[in-house]
Amino acid sequence: MAQEFKKFIARGNVMDLAIGIIIGAAFNQIVQSLVNDIIMPPIGLLVGRVDFSELYINLSTQSYDSFAQAQAAGAPTINYGIFINSVIEFLIVAFAVFLLVRQINKLHREPPAPPSTKNCPMCFTAIPIKAVRCPNCTSELTADA
């Protein structure tokens, strides 16, 4: 069983998956920093100096001056600002994956299929490529036609 497990781990697909997960986790940190440190501050400034991570709905009866105070007190809150950040992060990751898959698909385009029909030189109708006689005008077709 140990040999079988070793063989399974050494397969290319498992290693590719592990590398993909590691790179994905690192990419996630980059995207989080991009959203929280670069994209959200200008958006917050445009909509009136709003820090999206501070947007929340307090569900308790007490009032808190900031999200940090409500969180420290253990108050139940709906953190819709953090949700907005998460949606933006997802959209950035989804767009990056889309661009990556698009480029990979361009590299792996299949060559066009060979033609399955040809035109009859006499009546110019489409006929199967292997035909030796036109079914419409009954002219005999040569190999070079």
Residue 80 C-alpha from the chain's centroid? 25
Angle at 30 between CA 28 and CA 31, to 5 degrees: 65
Return the residue matching tokens 């900031």. Answer: 66
Q: Quick one: tokens of 49?
A: 């100096």
Domain ranges for the chain, please list them.
Answer: 2-109, 113-145
Return the residue matching tokens 């990979």. Answer: 104
Q: Using CA atoms, how far apart are residues 120 and 138, in angstroms rounded to an integer? A: 10
Distances (CA, A) of 97 to 19, 93, 138: 16, 6, 55
Task: Please report the pLDDT score of residue 145 as a whole number.
Answer: 47
Q: Say which CATH class 2-109 falls into.
A: mainly alpha
> Can you give the pLDDT of all 145 residues of the chain as single tens digits?
888 887 777 776 777 888 889 988 888 888 888 888 888 888 878 878 777 888 899 999 999 988 899 999 999 999 998 898 888 888 888 888 888 888 888 887 778 888 888 998 888 889 888 888 888 888 888 765 4
Q: pTM (2 decimals)? A: 0.55
Task: Please report the pLDDT score of residue 132 as a whole number.
Answer: 87
Alpha helices in the chain (DSSP H): 2-10, 12-33, 40-46, 67-72, 80-107
Q: Quick one: tokens of 36?
A: 């929280």
What percent of the chain is helix, strand and coil (3-state, nearest 5)?
55, 10, 35
The answer to whether the CB of 40 falls within 8 A of the CB of 26 is no
